[in-house]
Amino acid sequence: QPPPPVPQELKEVRRWEGARDVRLLDRNVRRWEGLLLPNTPPYNARAFRFELTFSPHHPLEPPCATLRTPIYHPSVDPEGRVCQPLTTHEHWTPTTRAIQVLQDLLLLLDSPDPQRVLRPDLARELQEHPEEFWHRAGEHTRLHAEPRPDPLGP
């Protein structure tokens, strides 16, 4: 049985300004949850709950990140699954850290990438009617996402 994700990695994520409230789910070291704080509108108006689940074979196998908060985004499907090349078996390396997975996820939320698509309808809308897409994304964020916590102190 390989060791679970090191507490060091959890500490590292807790110090990162891109997430808040990161903790073990059900006291299970293999399941983390927390709030992701996007940087760009309209997503940066609120916060998005994520879950990071580590395989029993971590770090030989990639963890799986899912968004628990619904988001209007071409790279996140309605179940919260994310199109994240970093966590595919082709790209994963055992030295990749949890914080890198979350940073990659945040970057994806901040800048929708037409190459990383799970919802072709939204990708098409973003390309053909961007104003409409951003308007809907903003409304959706307001309705579904969580209030942003206060910034971390010094």
Q: Is the bond preceding 114 in cis, omega lying within 30 degrees of 0?
A: no
Distance in angstroms between the alpha carbons of the first and the last residue of the chain: 39
Catalytic residue, candidates 19, 22, 76, 83: 83
The phi-psi region of residue 88 (left if phi > 0; otherwise alpha if psi is between -120 and 50; otherwise beta) is: beta
| Token digits of residue 94 | 């055992």
Q: Do 50 and 68 form a contact (C-beta atoms < 8 A)?
A: yes
Q: Within 10 A of 9 (CB to CB), how many other CB atoms are there? A: 19
Helix, strand, or coil (residue 64): strand
Q: Is 64 annotated in the active site?
A: no
Q: Phi then psi for 35, rounded to 5 degrees?
A: -110, 130
Write down the residue that tokens 């060791």 correspond to.
3
Active-site positions? 83
